[in-house]
Amino acid sequence: MIGSGGTVLVATRNRGKSKEFAEAFGKLGIAVKDLHDVEGMPDIEETGETFAENAYLKAKATADIVGIPVLADDSGLCVDELDGAPGVYSARYAGAGATDADNNAKLIRELLIRERGDRSEEDGEPETLSAARFKCVLVLYDPADGSKLEAEGSVEGAILREARGAGGFGYDPLFWLSSRGKSMAELTPADKNAISHRGNALRELLALIG
């Protein structure tokens, strides 16, 4: 599908995601562009009911326009106490145009409404409000032959009552990793990529590319 010397367009305007993908594909000699490099690219409506459906919709629609292989991801946070929400609506949980801060604030509000009042700090760990996991599905679509590769990754954690850390993006400051004793936002970029849902999915995808 794509090899050393090739170029893949990542269907995102998120600089954080673009950087993660560029570092990974760079090791294979593959250049990465994103939607900042394409003028007039329309927003692709995410109408799928699953991460996989949305990733495929974005990858194919974008590739059909730009004419080169496109990598799209759909990822999100699934919180047990919220019956899996925000899920596919993670990026727009607080509404269209919501910022990370808006989404994080709504997440805490919703969890506090449902709080059972039986949680406390244990073994020096900060208070958490619910078990949760980040999920990611990556789809690489080549318009030349209509082929696609799909990979999935996840990471288990819990939602903090209060944000910790200044790194990462999205819900990272609220996502507690007990195994590391840190929030996702407190990890170095290298440590985050080693365990994150996107990192896990990306490693699976790169193995498929060979």
Q: Is 19 annotated as a binding residue?
A: no
Alpha-carbon torsion (72, 61, 69, 16), positive or negative = negative
Q: Residue 5, annotated ligand binder?
A: no
C-alpha distance from residue 172 to each of 2, 61, 82, 137 (Å): 31, 29, 18, 18
Q: Is residue 169 part of an annotated ligand binding site? A: yes
Single out the residue of 20, 19, 4, 22 nearest to residue 194, CA to CA: 20
Q: 75: annotated binding-site residue?
A: yes
Q: Which amino acid does the sequence have at 192?
A: K
Residue 17, marked binder: yes
Annotation-wise, does 15 bind a ligand?
yes
Backbone φ and ψ of 141, nearest 5°? -120, 130
Name the residues annotated as catalytic.
74
200 annotated as belonging to a binding site for a ligand: no
Q: Is 172 marked within a binding site?
A: yes
Is-contact 133 153, C-beta < 8 A?
no
Residues of each annotated binding site: 12-17, 45, 74-75, 169-172, 192, 197-198
Binding residues for substrate: 12-17, 75, 169-172, 192, 197-198
Q: Which residue numbers belong to the known binding site for Mg(2+)?
A: 45, 74
